[in-house]
């Protein structure tokens, strides 16, 4: 089950999520394991159900290694940790302010066109944007220190 803050994000409109993202600083590059929640069709009555299905069958979160500047995604019901990304601070494609970039271009054949951007909204809770090429796809939440 998602945390209270993330549950609220699932009910927000895309414009409100973008404003929330833009109103925060990048924060520190996270370290350790985070529970992930996909935010698809934000503000609709089925956003929560879509997030639960994706969380169970496809993507459960990310495991960051801040010291080495990379992460692995926690995927599939078996809990496989795969699909590596480089992690660094850079300019956001959403608003040109600093964000934490999760860059798959040199580390993954499968996800080579994917770029994620995250910002810390509260300590241990990050809001993210997913891009495919330069096209924005979905949002997501990362909760550090939560139950997996």
Q: How far apart are CA 36 and CA 46, in angstroms?
A: 17
pLDDT at residue 1 tops 50: no
- The CA distance from 64 to 85, in Å, is 9
Residue 84 near residue 107, CB atoms below 8 Å: yes
Q: How far apart are CA 125 and CA 92, in angstroms?
A: 18
Supply the pLDDT for residue 72: 94
Question: Rounded distance, CA 122 to CA 107, Å?
Answer: 29
Asked if residue 113 has pLDDT above 60, the reply is yes
Q: What percent of the chain has pLDDT over 70?
A: 93
Whether residue 37 has pLDDT greater than 90: yes
Question: E strands along the chain, which residues?
Answer: 32-39, 59-65, 70-75, 80-91, 98-103, 114-122, 125-132, 135-144
**Alpha-carbon gap, residue 93 to 98, rounded angstroms:** 10
The answer to whether the predicted template modeling score (pTM) of the entire model surpasses 0.85 is yes
Residue 54, pLDDT > 80, answer no
Whether the per-residue pLDDT at 147 is higher than 70: the answer is no
Domains of the chain: 4-144 (2.40.128)
């Amino acid at each position: 089950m998602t945390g209270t803050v993330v549950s609220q994000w699932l009910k927000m409109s895309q414009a409100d999520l973008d404003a929330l993202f833009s109103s925060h600083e990048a924060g520190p590059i996270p370290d350790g394991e985070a529970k992930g929640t996909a935010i698809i069709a934000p503000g609709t009555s089925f956003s929560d159900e879509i997030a639960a299905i994706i969380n169970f069958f496809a993507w459960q979160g990310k495991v960051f290694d801040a010291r080495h500047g990379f992460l692995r995604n926690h995927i599939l019901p078996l809990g496989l940790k795969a699909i590596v990304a480089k992690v660094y601070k850079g300019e956001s494609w959403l608003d040109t302010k600093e964000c934490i970039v999760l860059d798959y271009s040199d580390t993954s054949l499968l996800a080579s066109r994917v770029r994620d951007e995250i910002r810390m909204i509260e300590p241990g809770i990050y809001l993210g944007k997913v891009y495919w090429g330069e096209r924005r796809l979905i949002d997501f939440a990362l909760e550090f220190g939560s139950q997996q």
